[in-house]
A and B are shown apart, each in its own frame.
Chain A
Amino acid sequence: MLRRTLPSSMRAVVGVKHAVDYTIKVQVKGGQVVKDVRHSMNPFDEIAMEAAVQLKEKGIVSEVVAVTIGNAKAVECVRVAMSLGADRSVHVVGDQTAIDNLETLQVAKIFAKLHEELQGDIYLMGKQAIDDDQCHTPQMLAGLLNIPQGTFAAGLTVADDKSSVTVQREVDDGHQTVNVSLPAVVSCDLRLNTPRFPNIRNIMKAKKMPVNTMKIEDLGIDLTPRTATLEISAPEARKGGGKVADVDELINKLKNEAKAI
């Protein structure tokens, strides 16, 4: 993986996924998730976009490219990215079946393929998508490109000479700070920033901006799934709670009904 000499201007590539909206009550009907519901930019990707735009406002990054891989409707995702400040966008489009069967390794491979052209200095993505919660793509992308990664970023600082980035990572027992050389993949966590609302004029402008559309089958990547979904079911409906009269009843219930003790 040849590294360019220190760039005077950085390019940030942001991965944004057109995912089931956070506020939707997901339903399972006939063994399938009901997908004909509101979709929007994956919330963690919104955070990644905000991080990229902030870097651009500080003059650290000179160009932000938003990339989405999805069905035809996913173009809205990059339009939102452009209304927030992305300079240009790429929409890798596939039919619904192709997108449904897409696995995280293939997503990472697509980004790796796009890197040949995009040459991103920093790849920003949400830590995971809220519809599948896989949390694989950023890590795999770093592996495929053989570049370092700073994941679960709650803090992000680019070095003055733009040769590296310091990432404050959220880990189970607190924070871990790593410094990784650029180019690198950074995945963004909840507390990194608060995404802004797009300005209405920018929303209107973004509607008319061009989008570089590529067909997923033209990228020369093997899209054969390596996993098979055996079953999809909704979690059991929550039963109401109850009040107990005294400690004895509590112990009885815990022992004989809940079988917890």
Chain B
Amino acid sequence: MLRVSLRTARWAHAKVTDADIAAFKEILGEKNVLTEDLDKYSKDWLGKYEGECPAVVKPEDAEMTSKIMKYCNEKNIAVVPQAGNTGLVGGSVPTGGEIVLSVEKMNTITSIDGISRVVESGAGVVLQSLEDALLPHNLTVPLDLAAKGSCCIGGNVATNAGGIRFLRYGSLHQSVLGLRVVTATGDILDLRNKLPKDNTGYDLKQLFIGSEGTLGIITDVVLQVPSEMKSSNVALLGCETFDGVLRTMQHARSELGEIISALEFADARSVEMSLSHTGNDHPFADGERPKYYLLIETLGSNEDHDMEKLGNFLDDVLSKDVVTGTIAQDGTQTKNLWAVRENITVSFKDFGKHNLKYDVSLPTSDFYKCVEDTQARLDQEVGKGECDVVGFGHIGDGNLHLNVISNNPNVSPSMEPWLYEWLTERGGSVSAEHGIGLMKREALKYSKPQNAIDYMKQLKKVFDPNNILNPFKVI
């Protein structure tokens, strides 16, 4: 647990006083202001970041949010916007002294239009709840991630969350039709458009999507949502070579075409760790333990058509690069196959005290080379056998989750900036989907040119002239 307290000389914000707390209570009502038992808000999900937090405020709508921000802007009080607090880069907890503005009370689903397939909801609606509410309309959410049961749609939008269905439904930049945002000065920017086509001026909402709470606080989200597909299939395939994985993926894309919804990769060690952690049986009952795994999911409207496509695809690849595999036969097996992929991350602590996580984007052909080169480097720099380097991730999006597991606490200097330079050389990104937050501020310059970062700073000044919104994060 790294307790980060940045209340150094450069802390330019006001200290929160009792008078401020009283003012918050006046604006929001007593029950919406907390000053005790704030662990849930001041500690991040990873258990890596924690900051001193004088108060947590919970506005119930955009108007209350605006009043709070007006007050804080006037008094120079720093504010950390927070949704589900499931972020992985320390972007949603205080660094020391900021208040937390939680959107959890803004948890109503305002409207669902089954015909235009548009849903408007408060930022604090938990993603799983949104999915449940859409189901009776035969609709579903355009993203799916492990934190589904705790993350909120507002946070998803603020971080431009990716997830396992990115391949099928694209980015939130595409699915978000409108937003209502409160800027740092308390200005309510109502961009709640419900139409798929609206080319009227600069598309301001795009700035807030992925801004990680540094440009404004999202209070309401309008989403275009896809139809719920009845027919779904999940197959787990094993290959002995990474080139085989790539070829299998090519076949999947061309033969499964429009029904493909997820393409996930894991190496043998990741799968081993995941199964060891859950205690579940290996899905390959024939005893085969291939070096690389590919999980393929299809979602379509017609079971027979999908099965035919899947059958043709498998006939093809079974005679080529796939050495073994299985297809889930029911909902439980589907969950169990996904569980192999989903439990990789949580299993790492069973195998080492220290875990360095890198969520990177890189050309697909270099995907596994990143893991191999990292292992080679650490074997040399730290010592052979000291570190376990594994790779898994959204291979269909070129997004690798590179992880280093070790009992040695001094591995980062051998990784950074070496890994960032390795990625930059290949045109990769230092943060594919997790964002910058607090953790990756130093890495930003490896993936964006300086003038781009300068423009970002100028935009920050436009929406947050006094730098009170999530200071020290992102830029």
Docked complex Cα distance between A197 and B318 (Å) = 17
B328 at the interface (CB under 8 A from A): yes
A residues near B315, Cβ cutoff 8 Å: 204
Docked complex Cα distance between A198 and B237 (Å) = 12
> Which of A21-29, A96-104, A106-114 contacts its partner?
A21-29
Determine which residue in A43, A83, A198 has the highest number of CB atoms from chain B within 10 A of its CB, and name it. Answer: A198
Interface string of A192-203 (1 = CB under 8 A from B): 001011111101
Contact between B318 and A204 (Cβ–Cβ < 8 Å)?
Answer: yes
B residues near A196, Cβ cutoff 8 Å: 281, 285
Docked complex Cα distance between A201 and B288 (Å) = 13
B87 at the interface (CB under 8 A from A): no
Contact between A41 and B330 (Cβ–Cβ < 8 Å)?
Answer: yes
B residues near A83, Cβ cutoff 8 Å: 329
Docked complex Cα distance between A196 and B333 (Å) = 9
Docked complex Cα distance between A203 and B335 (Å) = 19
B residues near A198, Cβ cutoff 8 Å: 285, 326-327, 329
Docked complex Cα distance between A187 and B311 (Å) = 33
Contact between A37 and B314 (Cβ–Cβ < 8 Å)?
Answer: no
A38 at the interface (CB under 8 A from B): yes
Number of interface residues of B (CB under 8 A): 31
Known contacts A25-B135, A201-B318, A204-B315; A40 and B285 CB within 8 A of each other: no
Interface string of B132-165 (1 = CB under 8 A from A): 0001100000000000000000000000000000
Known contacts A23-B334, A25-B135; A41 and B329 CB within 8 A of each other: yes
B51 at the interface (CB under 8 A from A): no
Dominant secondary structure of chain B at its interface with chain A: mixed
Closest to B288 in A: A199
B387 to chain A, nearest CB (A): 32
Closest to B328 in A: A197
Determine which residue in B281, B284, B326, B335 has the highest number of CB atoms from chain A within 10 A of its CB, and name it. Answer: B326
B230 at the interface (CB under 8 A from A): yes
Docked complex Cα distance between A23 and B330 (Å) = 8
Contact between B330 and A22 (Cβ–Cβ < 8 Å)?
Answer: yes
Q: How big is chain A's contact interface, by range? A: 20 to 34
Interface string of B280-308 (1 = CB under 8 A from A): 01011110000000000000000000000
A residues near B136, Cβ cutoff 8 Å: 27
Interface string of B313-338 (1 = CB under 8 A from A): 01100100010111111111111110
Contact between A204 and B314 (Cβ–Cβ < 8 Å)?
Answer: yes
Contact between B237 and A200 (Cβ–Cβ < 8 Å)?
Answer: yes
A46 at the interface (CB under 8 A from B): yes
CB proximity to A under 8 Å, residues B386-409 = none
A51 at the interface (CB under 8 A from B): no
B residues near A197, Cβ cutoff 8 Å: 283-285, 326, 328-329, 333, 336-337
Q: Which residues of B contact A (CB under 8 A)?
A: 135-136, 230-232, 235, 237, 281, 283-286, 311, 314-315, 318, 322, 324-337
Identify 10 residue pairs between A and B in the complex whose beta-carbon atoms are under 8 Å apart, listed by A's number. A21-B331, A40-B330, A197-B284, A198-B326, A198-B327, A200-B322, A200-B324, A200-B326, A203-B314, A207-B311
| Besides the known contacts A40-B330, A43-B330, A198-B329, 9 further A-B residue pairs in the complex with CB atoms under 8 A apart | A23-B335, A38-B331, A46-B330, A197-B283, A198-B285, A199-B285, A199-B325, A200-B325, A200-B327
The 7 closest A-B pairs by CB, nearest first: A23-B331, A40-B330, A200-B325, A197-B326, A196-B285, A21-B331, A197-B283
